[in-house]
Structure formats: C-alpha cells, structure tokens
Amino acid sequence: MVIGGGIQKKVRVLVVDDSGFFRRHISKLLSKDEQIEVVGTAGDGLAGFEAAKNLKPDVITMDVEMPVMDGITAVKKIMSEVPTPILMLSSYTSKGAKETLDALSAGAMDFIPKQSSKTPDNSAQLSEMLVQKVLAVGNKQRRLIRTPPAINKTATEVVSSRSRESPQVVHRGSYDLVVVGASTGGPVAIQNLMCSLPKNFSTPLVLAIHMPGNFTKAFAERLNNTCSMEVKEAVDGDRLQPGVALLAPGGKQLYFSRSGVTAQVRIRDGKPEETYKPCIDTTLESAAQVMGGSVLAVILTGMGSDGCQGASMLKQCNSTVWSQDEASCVIYGMPQAVEKRGLSDMVLPLNEIGPALVKAV
C-alpha cells in the first residue's frame, strides 16, 4: 500500500498469552491481514513486558490470567515504562468482565471478548474484530507519533451549519434526556465523562456502549462505585429520572416509551440479524420519536458509524448532537461519521464534555 509516495509500514503486534495454542491462533488470525506483522509472542506478563521493551510494537494483545505476572500488572508496568496501546483478550465470564475493567483502569485501551482464554471459539467473529481494532489502534498510534498535536475546537465552537443558523438550539435547561453512545475506547471515555458529573445532575441520562451482557452489569457497578451519580444497568420499565444514569444492557436493545408525563426505558432481546446489541441508532431513533426536540445526544469514540442515523433523526426533531473530537478519541469513527454529515452542534475534547453538559442542562 502506497501513501504519500512511500510504502506504508505494517502495524507491528506483540501477542501475550499463556496458552501456546492461543498465541499461535491469534498470531495466525492477525498475520492473514497484509497490513499486520506479528513481531513476537510471550507466555506471561513479565515476558510480555520485556518483549515490549525490546520490540517496541505498535500494539500489544494481552490475556488477563497468566503465570509469573498477570495481565493487569503487566499493563501497569508497560504503561509506566514503555507506553504502548494494549488490547485485552477477555473471557465472557463475570470474573473476566471485572478483570478486564481493571485492566482498562490500569491503562489498556480496549478489549476483545472471547469465549475462553484457552480455546478459539467464534473464530470468524474474533478474527474480524481483532484485525479491525488492531489496525485502528495501531494506525492511530502512528499518526500521533508523526503528527504534531492539533488545536482542539473549544466547547463553545459550533461546527454544523444547522447550529450556526439556529444558535438557540443549545441553551441551558432545554433537555429532558441526555444519551451518550460509544464503542471502541468507550469504557474509559464514559468513566471519565461520568466522573465529571455531579450527584444531582438534573437531567435523566442513558448510556449505550457496544459491550457483551456480562460486561455491562459489571461496568454499571463500577461506574456506580466510582462516580457521584447513581448508575445502574437498565431493566425494562425503569423510569427516566434526574440524578440516575441507566446503562443499556449488553446483548439487548434499549428504547423509550411515554405514559403521560412519565417516560421510561424499554428493553428487548437483541435479534440475530442485528450487528450491535445495544445499537446506538436504535436508542437515538426511539428518543427522537418519543422525546422529540428535547434530547441531547453525545457520540463518543468508536469504530464504524453507529449513532449517525439516529443523530440524523434527532436533528430533524431539532434536538442537539455533540461529538468527541479526533484528538481525544481512541478511534475516530462514530464521531467522525456524525461530524462529516454536518450533524454535530459541537465537537469537544473528552475532558470538556462533562463540564459542558453541566452547563447545558
């Protein structure tokens, strides 16, 4: 592949897993893509740390449970001494969810769920997700190294023609609901955002992130324990109320209904043909239909374009859409899709979104 007159270098990956079988399996999946080069493997966290120092890979994939040094400890050591983007390979179990969230708190960039750390189940799905995330994360790391930091747009900068024509769209106290959507890099981004909001945040809040079912319960509990606001995994019939953030359950879809002045969330099982469960488009489209122009949607880091169609429907109802800026995103996919279609009223660095929400509601 030729870019700017030169040959683009491959994304260099280090694979760390205590299972020799799985090290070979992951290496084989990655090596099938011509844009990726597996430069080394390691069988425990300490060996992974040493390999990271010596090989200086663009990306590391890392198991959680390993001898000598576990994955969480290895993440902390790597991020403190040889900072490198790390993708955790995590089991679907509740224990695996907690450990993965611990690894993200320690500095890992994102995770890839798998049925077992020892057996390569769902190979096609794992392969696609693994390759996509490795390429996205690795290429972003390269851009950060090559490119001087860009000047971020400030929280007061309006970027869409719609908001320039109608500046009154964004004003304090005009929202009955805030919906935050995210994917790759989302767990850390949402935790950072939620920790900047006060306990008495005055507008009902719904969070939707691409995450398996066992992970969302653990994630909601973690947010509830670390943030001022109450956070819970949503169940069918939960009322929207100030000071409470409802997290869409993994593997299901969240939408809204209203009875008189009372609005509530509804939960249904995800369908086999649905790519994302929860799907941010589904949630935002329902918000547009039920809540009309009183919604503020915030699209955070993530691959793909989920949320863009829902944001479009919200804009047709005169609701407001914000998106995270490129510099602070792990993956500038979902926010970019919204911004490119002219749907973003504001483009904000992650650390400005929380304070801006407090001022807006």
Residue with the bigger pLDDT between 354 and 1: it is 354
Same domain, yes or no, for 219 and 134? Answer: no
Tens of pLDDT along 237-290?
999 999 999 999 999 999 999 988 889 999 999 888 889 999 999 999 999 999
Radius of gyration over alpha carbons of the chain, in Å? 20
User: Which residue among 101, 122, 146 closes a domain?
Assistant: 146
Residue type, 108: A
Same domain, yes or no, for 189 and 317? Answer: yes
Same domain, yes or no, for 222 and 283? Answer: yes
User: Which residue among 146, 176, 197 closes a domain?
Assistant: 146
In this prediction, residue 143 carries a pLDDT of 60
Tens of pLDDT along 286-340?
999 999 999 999 999 999 999 999 999 999 999 999 999 999 999 999 999 999 9
User: Which residue among 146, 178, 204 closes a domain?
Assistant: 146
When the pLDDT of each residue in the chain is averaged and rounded to a whole number, the result is 87
Q: How far is the C-alpha of 18 from the C-alpha of 273, rounded, in Å? A: 35
Same domain, yes or no, for 178 and 123? Answer: no
Q: What is the CATH number of the domain that holds 61?
A: 3.40.50.2300
Q: How far is the C-alpha of 119 from the C-alpha of 121, rounded, in Å? A: 6
Same domain, yes or no, for 170 and 91? Answer: no
239 forms bridges with which residues in the sheet?
264
User: CB neighbours of 259 closer than 8 A, spacing ≥ 6?
Assistant: none
Q: How far is the C-alpha of 90 from the C-alpha of 170, rounded, in Å? A: 40
Same domain, yes or no, for 203 and 251? Answer: yes
User: Which residue shows structure tokens 């509530």?
Assistant: 264
Over residues 344-350, the mean pLDDT reads 97
In this prediction, residue 139 carries a pLDDT of 84
Same domain, yes or no, for 242 and 289? Answer: yes
In the structure encoding, which two tokens stand for residue 341, read together?
């279609």
Same domain, yes or no, for 83 and 167? Answer: no
Residue 152, in any domain of the structure: no
Residue 3, in any domain of the structure: no
What is the DSSP pairing of strand 6-7 with strand 2-3?
A: antiparallel
The number of domains in the chain is: 2
Answer whether 338's CB lies under 8 Å from 299's CB.
yes
Residue type, 116: S
What positions carry a catalytic annotation?
Answer: 183, 210, 306
In this prediction, residue 195 carries a pLDDT of 96
Answer whether 347's CB lies under 8 Å from 159's CB.
yes
Answer whether 311's CB lies under 8 Å from 295's CB.
no
Same domain, yes or no, for 174 and 115? Answer: no
Dihedral in degrees, nearest 10, Cα atoms 300, 306, 309, 310: -60
Range of the domain at 232: 161-360
Same domain, yes or no, for 182 and 130? Answer: no
Residue 49, in any domain of the structure: yes
Answer whether 242's CB lies under 8 Å from 357's CB.
no
Residue with the bigger pLDDT between 65 and 118: it is 65
User: What's the whole-model pTM score?
Assistant: 0.87
Answer whether 256's CB lies under 8 Å from 287's CB.
yes
Q: Is 32 left (phi over 0), alpha (psi -120 to 50) or beta?
A: alpha
Same domain, yes or no, for 339 and 213? Answer: yes
Q: What is the DSSP string of 215-269?
A: HHHHHHHHHHHHSSSEEEE--TTPBP-TTEEEEPPTTEEEEEEEETTEEEEEEEE
Residue 111, in any domain of the structure: yes
Q: What is the CATH number of the domain that holds 304?
A: 3.40.50.180
Q: How far is the C-alpha of 161 from the C-alpha of 211, rounded, in Å? A: 33
Same domain, yes or no, for 291 and 267? Answer: yes
Residue 151, in any domain of the structure: no
Residue 155, in any domain of the structure: no
User: Which residue shows structure tokens 């507008």?
Assistant: 203
Answer whether 117's CB lies under 8 Å from 64's CB.
yes
Residue 314, in any domain of the structure: yes
